Amino acid sequence: MTFEELIQSPRQLLLKCISGSNAYNLALPTSDMDLKGIFILPKQEFYGLNYTPQVNNNSNDEVFFEIGRFIELLCKNNPNILELLNTPTHCVLFKHPVMARIQPRDFLSKLCQETFAGYAKTQIKKASGLNKKINKTFEKARKTVLDFCYVVHSNGSMTLAAWLLENQLQQEACGLTAIPNFRDGYLIYHHPQLRGIVSGDQANEVQLSSIPKGVEPLAVMTFNKDAWSVYCREYLEYWQWVENRNEQRYQGTLAHGKNYDAKNMMHTFRLLSMAEEIARYQEVRVHRSDREALLKIRSGAYEYTELMDLINAKLDNMDALYAASGLPEAPDYRRAEHLLIQIREEFYQ
């Protein structure tokens, strides 16, 4: 089954809900409309070879899970799935009678501490990752291996570029030999027949030359290969981020001037608060009554360090909350499996 086939055959639909910021009570005028739901494969297709666990549209803002996949993720206390099951009534567009068999409280467990808090930690990483990228930009023109080469000079060192300039030499007329027992250490020679220190601007390594007899070394050079590797990785990550970033959110980050993704931070606090509520009240509160506080975070009203202090305080308190919660360690897998069988039998009949 494909997304298009599901839309054209709504009889296979079990649940269709408005999700995301509109369900969280966090929507702004610019917010998108996201939909999530559950479907059940036609009986013949389910018994066949091609099981379809999930379908979605091209923009991925409409996602539907097959009932088997839904129950499987429910048993893992997946936050997105628990949120879908606990969608506020006003955001439920369609609900098949068989869905009444699935009671949210039957699936809540201590796994929620790890899944909700763990998901929150990924949001922190995204927010802090943006902080790092904003504060560590890279010129479009990539550096070369030569920028990470240094020559022993007097009682210290100087860059290879400065040394070549001082000695009025071109790297193409120089050559290297490795120094035994000296990691990434080389002797530099100069002779018209030599290959050069690197093969060109795109080289990822220095190269060695066969040195003619009688040619004496001019200096000792080291290539900081570790720093070169780190630079290449971060350079690639940075420009991939620039190419793929959500420009509207990025400009919003620049506007509030705090150098972190405030939307990620807002969702971090939302997830941590939901984790706390599950432990205290044994329910998933999707519709946020703390809308104003969360939108204040999204507006960039706080410094990054302030938010991290609050987050760490919430995380430090989480173990005690779940220890006192009375929740089971994990959902009853066999009971969930029996429930899934009952739903399929009832629907297919």
**pLDDT tens across 157-216, in order?**
999 999 999 999 999 999 999 999 999 999 999 999 999 999 998 999 999 999 999 999
Tell me, what's the pLDDT at 258?
57
In this model, does residue 74 exceed pLDDT 60?
yes
pLDDT tens readout for residues 154-171: 889 999 999 999 999 999
**Residue 239, pLDDT score:** 78
Could you report the per-residue pLDDT of 39-59, keeping only the tens digit for each? 999 999 999 998 999 999 998
**What confidence score (pLDDT) does residue 250 get?**
52
Sole residue written with tokens 């628990």 = 82
Residues 187/220, Cβ–Cβ less than 8 Å: yes
pLDDT-derived band at 255 (thresholds 50, 70, 90) equals: very low
Tokens 């993720």 sit at which residue? Answer: 73
| Averaged pLDDT, 254-273 | 78
Task: Kindly report, residue by residue over 112-135, the tens digit of the pLDDT.
Answer: 999 998 888 877 776 655 555 555
How many CA within 13 A on the CB side of residue 256? Answer: 21
How far is the C-alpha of 188 from the C-alpha of 275, rounded, in Å?
Answer: 61
Cβ-proximal residues to 30 (8 Å cutoff; 6+ apart), any chain:
248
CB 49 within 8 A of CB 24: no
pLDDT tens sequence across 83-109: 999 999 999 999 999 999 999 999 999
Dist. CA 22–CA 61, nearest whole Å = 13
Set out the domains of the chain in order of their start, with CATH numbers.
Answer: 1-103+331-349 (3.30.460), 145-231 (no CATH)
Q: What is the pLDDT of residue 345?
A: 96
**pLDDT score, position 64:** 98
Predicted TM-score (pTM) of this structure: 0.67
Conformation bin of residue 282: beta by default, left when phi > 0, alpha when psi is -120 to 50: left
Convert 93-130 to b/e letters by CB count within 10 Å (16 or more is b): eebbebeeebeeeebbbbbbbebbbebbbebbebbbeb
- Which strands sit side by side in the sheet containing 34-39, from one edge to the other? 54-56, 62-66, 34-39, 13-19, 92-95
Q: What is the mean pLDDT of the chain?
A: 90
Residue 254 pLDDT: 45
Is pLDDT above 80 for 69?
yes
